[in-house]
Structure 1
Amino acid sequence: MKFKKIFFIAFLASLTLTACSTSNSTVDNASKSAALITDGNINDHSFNQSAWEGLEAYGTEYKLNKGADGYQYFQVKNKDDLKTGISKAIKQKYQTIFGLGSEAKNSITSTAKKHPNKNFVIMDDTIKGYPNIASVRFRKDEGAYLAGVAAASQTKTGKVGFIGGENSSVIRSFKRGFTKGVNDQAKKMHKKVTIYNQNIGTFTNTFKARTIAATMYGKNADIIFHAAGKAGSGLFQEARFINQARPAKDRVWVIGVDADQSNLGKYDAKGGQEANFVLTSVITGINVATKDIASRSYQDKFPGGKTITYDLKNNAVSILPGQIDPATWKYVQIARNKILAGKIKI
């Protein structure tokens, strides 16, 4: 009987230890968990998709599962529901919560006040004065400058365009970089290049984006760079419509934004030839930043209260070779090296 009693006590102790071990493991994982809140399609070939890819890379590196105690995204219908998405992530005990762009700014600010023990990240904007909010900014003007160099070098008509979304600091950064890149390269090549600029006013009005694109292409622009989010699909629609009636050699071009948007440029040219009208894409390393901030949080080094800037130097901003011709690509690389050396100021 004595032996049975000792065995039973040992058995109970082992159950207790197992339960404690499981509980601690859950708590540890929960404290390393990360969630992305978005009001757009997670497969948008742009901002949202890049952010999610960064979280997936984070989960892979630290062997975390998609879902509770790991990493997840919460997609809501529109920006008015972003706060609801954040609340869902908090209820499911995610520790580090990412919001994208200025549309998430108010929701993150108000929620961070109520949950000081949670980590919040505003991507592509700045929130100051909160020790539990990290702000992430990108030198988008650097990538846009390189796009401007490419556009000025490769335009055949001497006319290019820029279509922005809302008139925000981010869009002005894109516009400023692109404009300076075009003007600097045109001067270097002793050619005149006209730039058409127009903002849509939103990031969702596809019809207006297409109308603006049609006007610019109608004025003989042959390359248009957009920084218009979801609305940018209107530019792709118009470019496809125009190009399907032309030989591939006479196509008009689009420069994509934030992620590689070459898949959106596939079409059949006049005569049935398969072609693509995306000249290049300006990459904003949302994935680089998302993975980096999540990793810092995992290591208990969350940069709360700070603004982290990502640029050409840490490879978070770049431009793809795409269909840029070899001579133009050399110009792009020369400009990139001068930016890194501090010889070009934007």
Structure 2
Amino acid sequence: MRRSTKFAALVTAGILSLAATGCGSDNDTTDNGTSGEGPTSDVKIGMAYDVGGRGDQSFNDSAAAGLDQAVEEFGMTSQESEATDGEAESAREERLRTFADAGFDPIIAVGFAYGGAIAKVSAEYPDVHFAIIDDESAVADNVANLVFAEEQGSFLVGAAAALKTESDHIGFIGGVETPLIQKFEAGFIAGAQAVNPKIKIDSTYLTQVPDFSGFGDPAKGKTAAQGMYDAGADIVYHAAGGSGGGVFEAAKEAKAKAIGVDSDQYNTADPSVQDVILTSMLKNVNVAVYEYLSSINDGTFPSGTTRYDLEVDGVGYSTSGGQVDDITGELDGYKQKIIDGEIKVPTAP
């Protein structure tokens, strides 16, 4: 893995790119080409987004920022497609096959829900290179698994919530109950309890597998958050993708606070709710995508697992808006203890 200094520089570039990202086309595929100026490349990237796609202001948008940066810097071309609520596994497989049949190489799948599809399709196309975010189950010489220590970043925002709450009552909302999202919950709870072992923490999930709509339903997110605020919580952390927009709306109406996820949501959420975002758990998917494509630009096709954790700033917390400036010393102290191994963060609640 590359040194953390380089990683931090890429994080900064990705955040700037993400802040400028808008919603893509409503069509199933979107072409991103070059303007004819600058570098050119024969590399054609197929990007398969999870539910919500480009424009979710969270997980998918972070991946899109990394893609955009690579397209601009290396002159690569790309085409995008996204999953829909409730689609069958066969639809994800077909999305990947369509890219492969059209000559796209590499193909990047955004989200663990593509795990089964990547395992099957990568075996059918051994000469095509694949990458998948958040999944280690698909193991092959032509598959790169880009994963994160979500529990570590969530520990830090959990500590922030416990340091900032006035009611000693906070909440967690997960989009879909899976082992991956449970890592967010586990870290958040551990971080909050490290500050205050007696703090009250409510947890809920919007949907259960195989219903992945919990990542793209702001109305459900708002309803769940309203319930927590009405019950006395004054800070709610969401790991729910596009549903997080509803959490922010509920926080605004309750005159409470919320914590964003994946990207610095203070910079990407609607300006009307910007002031309720205490911090965000940063999961630098943009950097993972960019580094993968940078390796390909250099002539190397990575495979196997690359893990992005606190030590390389693969995860972290945001300070935009200044609401945690007074506790950054304490948060960075916890960060160093995790890096040094003094704190072992659980991955299951």
CA distance change for structure 1 residues 256 and 113 in 2, over 3 Å: closer, same or farther? same
Q: What is the rounded CA distance, in whole Å, between the counterparts of 2:53 and 2:71 in structure 1?
A: 20
Offset of residue 209 of structure 1 = 2.3
Q: Confirm or deny: 8 A CA contact 1:224 1:255 kept in the other structure.
A: yes
Q: Confirm or deny: 8 A CA contact 1:119 1:302 kept in the other structure.
A: yes
The amino acid of 1:343's aligned partner reads E
Offset of residue 76 of structure 1 = 4.8
Q: Confirm or deny: 8 A CA contact 1:138 1:310 kept in the other structure.
A: yes
Offset of residue 40 of structure 1 = 2.4
In the alignment, what sits opposite 2:285? 286
In the alignment, what sits opposite 2:17? none
Offset of residue 48 of structure 1 = 0.9
- SS of 1:264's partner is coil
Report whether the alignment pairs 1:199 with 2:210.
no
Q: What is the rounded CA distance, in whole Å, between the counterparts of 2:78 and 2:270 in structure 1?
A: 31
The amino acid of 1:161's aligned partner reads G
Offset of residue 121 of structure 1 = 1.0
Report whether the alignment pairs 1:213 with 2:211.
no
- Residue 185 (structure 1) aligned to one of 195, 216, 236: 195
Q: What is the rounded CA distance, in whole Å, between the counterparts of 1:50 and 1:299 in structure 2?
A: 23
Q: What is the rounded CA distance, in whole Å, between the counterparts of 1:145 and 1:200 in structure 2?
A: 21
In the alignment, what sits opposite 1:98? 108
CA distance change for structure 1 residues 183 and 85 in 2, over 3 Å: closer, same or farther? same
Q: What is the rounded CA distance, in whole Å, between the counterparts of 1:318 and 1:152 in structure 2?
A: 17
CA distance change for structure 1 residues 77 and 212 in 2, over 3 Å: closer, same or farther? closer
- Residue 155 (structure 1) aligned to one of 141, 148, 165: 165
Q: Deviations over 1:217-257 (max 9, x none)?
A: 01111100000112222212322333xxxxxxxx3011000
- SS of 1:98's partner is strand
Q: What is the rounded CA distance, in whole Å, between the counterparts of 1:181 and 1:162 in structure 2?
A: 12
Q: What is the rounded CA distance, in whole Å, between the counterparts of 1:265 and 1:183 in structure 2?
A: 31
- SS of 2:215's partner is coil
In the alignment, what sits opposite 2:271? 266
Q: What is the rounded CA distance, in whole Å, between the counterparts of 1:205 and 1:118 in structure 2?
A: 34
- Residue 135 (structure 2) aligned to one of 114, 118, 125: 125
Q: What is the rounded CA distance, in whole Å, between the counterparts of 1:196 and 1:111 in structure 2?
A: 40
Q: Deviations over 1:40-89 (max 9, x none)?
A: 23121111111111112222332x14xxxx23322354444433432332
**TM-score calculated relative to the size of structure 1:** 0.79
Q: What is the rounded CA distance, in whole Å, between the counterparts of 2:270 and 2:189 in structure 1?
A: 23
In the alignment, what sits opposite 1:272? none
Specify the structure having the higher radius of gyration (Cα).
1
Q: What is the rounded CA distance, in whole Å, between the counterparts of 1:285 and 1:180 in structure 2?
A: 21
Offset of residue 266 of structure 1 = 3.3
CA distance change for structure 1 residues 76 and 340 in 2, over 3 Å: closer, same or farther? closer
The amino acid of 1:334's aligned partner reads G
Offset of residue 148 of structure 1 = 0.7
In the alignment, what sits opposite 1:314? 312
The amino acid of 2:229's aligned partner reads Y
CA distance change for structure 1 residues 325 and 121 in 2, over 3 Å: closer, same or farther? closer
**TM-score calculated relative to the size of structure 2:** 0.78
CA distance change for structure 1 residues 88 and 287 in 2, over 3 Å: closer, same or farther? same
Q: How does 1:62-101 map to 2 (within 5 A)?
A: 62=74, 64-65=75-76, 70-78=77-85, 79-80=87-88, 81-101=91-111
Q: 5+ unaligned residues in a row in structure 1: which ranges?
A: 1-27, 243-250, 269-274
CA distance change for structure 1 residues 180 and 265 in 2, over 3 Å: closer, same or farther? farther
Offset of residue 265 of structure 1 = 5.6
- SS of 1:313's partner is helix
Q: What is the rounded CA distance, in whole Å, between the counterparts of 2:41 and 2:99 in structure 1?
A: 15
Q: Deviations over 1:316-343 (max 9, x none)?
A: 2110113434332221111112222222
- SS of 1:199's partner is strand
State the identity %.
Answer: 28
CA distance change for structure 1 residues 61 and 29 in 2, over 3 Å: closer, same or farther? closer
Report whether the alignment pairs 1:60 with 2:72.
yes
Q: What is the rounded CA distance, in whole Å, between the counterparts of 1:295 and 1:82 in structure 2?
A: 26
Q: Confirm or deny: 8 A CA contact 2:119 2:139 kept in the other structure.
A: no
In the alignment, what sits opposite 1:49? 61
- SS of 1:267's partner is helix
Deviates more, 1:143-152 or 1:335-344: 335-344
The amino acid of 2:204's aligned partner reads Q
In the alignment, what sits opposite 1:33? 44
